[in-house]
Structure 1
Amino acid sequence: MVLNLQPRSNQQQISYKIQDKLYLSITNRCTLVCNFCPKTNGCLQVHDYDLTMQYRPTVSEIIAAIDNPTYYTEVVFCGYGEPTLRLKVLLEVAKFIKQHGGQVRVNTDGLADLVHKGKALPAL
């Protein structure tokens, strides 16, 4: 196991807004290498947002990046990684969003149950 002991940069883009939706980038790890994915093609930007990750944000950091979920038509877990690889974090943040009146969407590759040995779908 390798630990990153570098100080955290305040520059990391945890959330980004596109139209009336807020997107959350909670990991850069993925189970696939899709040819249509910008990350696979060497692009680290979505619209004008740089989604380079220096570290995996904590639940508290993600919630702080959301502010008020009712400001958006939905809050979407989508970035340069598979959000269900951080299932515990995803569930905690989704619970916060729902408890505060927000709508949740998860963009996923659909392999969460395989990765989590059948435990992901019931949790979602």
Structure 2
Amino acid sequence: MGKSKQVGNHKSGKKKHIAKTWKTKRRTKDIDQIHADMIPGNAAKLLKQDVDYDVTGSAQHYCLHCARYFVDLKTMKEHFKTKIHKKRLKKLREEPYTQAEAERAAGMGSYIPAKTIEVHTQQVEENMD
């Protein structure tokens, strides 16, 4: 008698691609999407949102640069001091990548260095309600 071929293993009934769900679990907005949110008209809408009880902190405390909601003003101020927020501000200083830049990189034009944009942490209004 020869060995029998193994058909499956003990994990056959479970999710096989769990690593993909781990990678996308904490997915945030991309840098170019945040640049679009930083346009003054869009920023005003995001910072002055209506009360939404399905969102953390009822959507009243939002970090525009990190695209995150916070429970209260204190935690948002603490977030402004963190390394994650400071790294995001540094990334946002670069101008977003455009189609024109892609064409220049492919040899369809002259090289123009990327511009830097002045980005500061948003101002927080403290309500004494």
* TM-score > 0.5 by shorter chain: no
Which protein has the bigger strand share? 1
Which protein has the bigger helix share? 2
Give the TM-score normalised by the residue count of structure 1: 0.30
Bigger relative contact order (CA 8 A; separation at least 6) = 1
The structure with the largest alpha-carbon Rg is: 2
Give the TM-score normalised by the residue count of structure 2: 0.29
